[in-house]
Homo-oligomer: A and B are copies of this chain.
Amino acid sequence: MPSAAGAKLKDVAALAGVSVGTVSNVLNRPEQVSTEKRSRVLAAIDELGFVRNESARSLRSGSTRSLGMLVLDVRNPFFTDVALGAENVAEDHKHSLILANSAEDSDREQAYLDLFEQQRVQGILITPFGNVLERLETMRSRGIPSVLVDRLARTDQFCSVSVDDVAGGATALSHLLSVGSVRPAFVGGPFTLQQVEDRYRGAADAAERAGIRLQLFETPDLKFERGRHVGDSIAKLQPNERPDAVFAANDQLALGLLQSFAANGLRVPEDIAIVGFDDIDFASQSSIPLTSVSQPRQLIGERAAGLLFDEIDDEPGHVHSQVVFTPELVARQSTRRG
């Protein structure tokens, strides 16, 4: 249990009686070193408590063993799951993942991109918030590629991994119809969010195909509180003009509706059914388990990281690709047919 402070490669070489080059080889290409010297070096490393200096390593070799990941909100379980998937892949490639939180703030987003650039990460996984695509392109031209996560690249300048929200919206609404809804409603907003727009469009189209009108309750955000608020106004409506089922643009909103309905004495699903979107853990853990549209979160992270490594490893021959997952519905009690 040695505790010498700050041994460096040179010291190891001296103690083992070999050259610095040999020590470096033991660290990086152990198969090219004779068994005898290798074990002498390893013994010396152990005795001195030598830890290799990553700064020096990456300065000389020109490459860091790390990826940067920039998400909109670390507190959102969706993103931690995606990050988990990405981290697993990074680990397989012996890279580490630096997770950063733009917190839906353009300045922070820029600052973290600065940081990633300074740290010379090998690549970036990002759910863009502000207007950063142009910057990402110049970063790629300087050798730092990026992959868009949870956002379809409209250009073919990037790889992206996303989910087909239109299909998800259609699935959700079809499900409501299949359990007997004749007066469905959509709750969500703002429509400037592509995902809200897509989920609504999918649902509206599905309703139209069935010859049914989809009522709309537009909201300025997707938070729990907002759901409770909208829920209160829905509960106040006369039974004959009240929706018999709602599709909420995400689970937070859906949980808010659920709480409000419970507080207002509406029975779910008998009086009104609810389907959410994202299938966060708490959807299934609610008192009345929530039906939700599920996205393969870890898989999204894994594929994104996979694409990124493709581009890192094969820079010239790389062809950008857009991976789009189709979400699936998980039926639970909140839409159980009576």
A: which residues have CB within 8 A of B? 1, 3, 5-6, 49, 51-56, 58-59, 64, 74-75, 77, 80-81, 83-84, 87, 96, 98-101, 114-115, 117-120, 138, 141-143, 224, 252, 255-256, 258-259, 262, 281-282, 285-289
Contacts and interface: CB of A to CB of B under 8 A. Distances in A.
A54 B119 contact: yes
A124 to B, nearest CB: 14
Contacts of A252: 285
Contact of A142 (B5, B75, B96, B255): B5
Nearest to A119: B54
A261 to B, nearest CB: 8
Contact of A3 (B64, B87, B138): B138
A282 B99 CA distance: 24
A49 B287 contact: no
B83 A74 contact: yes
Contact of A120 (B54, B74, B115, B287): B54
Contacts of A101: 84, 87
A138 B49 contact: yes
B287 A5 contact: no
A102 to B, nearest CB: 12
Contacts of A120: 53-55
Contacts of A141: 3, 5
A5 B138 CA distance: 9
Nearest to A288: B287
B287 A54 contact: no
22 contacts: A3-B142, A5-B143, A6-B142, A49-B142, A51-B118, A51-B142, A53-B59, A53-B118, A53-B120, A54-B55, A55-B56, A75-B80, A77-B77, A87-B101, A255-B282, A256-B285, A259-B285, A259-B289, A262-B287, A262-B288, A286-B286, A286-B287
Given A3-B138, A99-B99, A282-B285, 15 more contacts: A6-B142, A51-B142, A53-B120, A54-B119, A55-B64, A75-B81, A75-B84, A77-B77, A80-B80, A252-B285, A258-B287, A259-B285, A259-B286, A262-B287, A262-B288
Nearest to A141: B3
Residue among A58, A64, A258 facing the most chain B CB atoms (10 A cut-off): A58
Contact of A59 (B55, B87, B281): B55
